[in-house]
Amino acid sequence: MPSGIILSSVDALIDWSRGHSLWAMPMGTACCAMELIAASFSKFDFDRHGTFPRPDPRHTDLMIVAGTITRKMQPAVKRLYEQMPDPKWVIAMGNCAVSGGIFYYDTYSVVRGVDEFLPVDVYVAGCPPRPEALQDAVLQLRAKIGQESIGPNTFYVRKQNLPQSGDPR
């Protein structure tokens, strides 16, 4: 049997298991956090996707940033992300997490999108986005994970060249 067939099957199995057991680190910092909390309720039933919140970054592989991130908060969010084991993914939920939202233009202290310091995999627009939009983001992320491979030089590579704070965007 050609080795490619075996590798493909292992890829499919690993991707399936990763995509269907995304344990989320909830990083709710502002009003979007209410929608993130609502997403945990039985009405939306994220558990059927194998996605549920865990309070410890060492148990999680998905960080959901929901809300405004200030410059003062940024190092703490980054530290929590770095404590998560690889491979790991990030969803930016809401306009504040995506781009600083309405606050960026009124204050010097708000980060203009968490992709200034975290490699965001899926963006969820809205102010606030509904839990259904987050559910769609989880499905999008699962599709991305499904394209990964454990083959040489094809494993998930995190973005290295994140924009720096103050860079034009």
Residue 49: how many other CB atoms lie within 10 Å: 16
Q: If binding is defined by CB under 6 A, does position 94 make contact with ligand SF4? A: yes
CB of 58 to ligand SF4, least distance (A): 26
77 is a contact residue toward ligand SF4 (CB under 6 A) = no
Residues 106-165 that bind ligand SF4 (CB under 6 A): 127-128
| Site track for ligand SF4 across 32-71, x = CB under 6 A | x----------------------------------xx---
Helix 131-145 / helix 3-19 crossing angle, nearest 10 deg: 160
Nearer to ligand SF4, 110 or 145 (CB): 110
Dihedral sign computed on CA atoms, order 41, 128, 112, 70:
negative
Q: CA–CA separation, 136 vs 107, rounded Å?
A: 31
Q: Which is nearer to ligand SF4, 24 or 98 (CB)?
A: 98
- Measured CA to CA, the distance from residue 68 to residue 33 in angstroms comes to 10
Query: Of 27-35, 76-84, 113-121, 161-169, which part binds ligand SF4 (CB under 6 A)?
Result: 27-35
52 burial (CB, 10 Å; 0-12 / 13-18 / 19+) is middle
Query: Of the candidates 169, 33, 30, which has an alpha carbon nearest to the alpha carbon of residue 102?
Result: 30
- Minimum CB separation of residue 102 from ligand SF4 in Å reads 6
Q: By the criterion CB under 6 A, which residues form the site for ligand SF4? A: 30-32, 67-68, 94-96, 101-102, 127-128
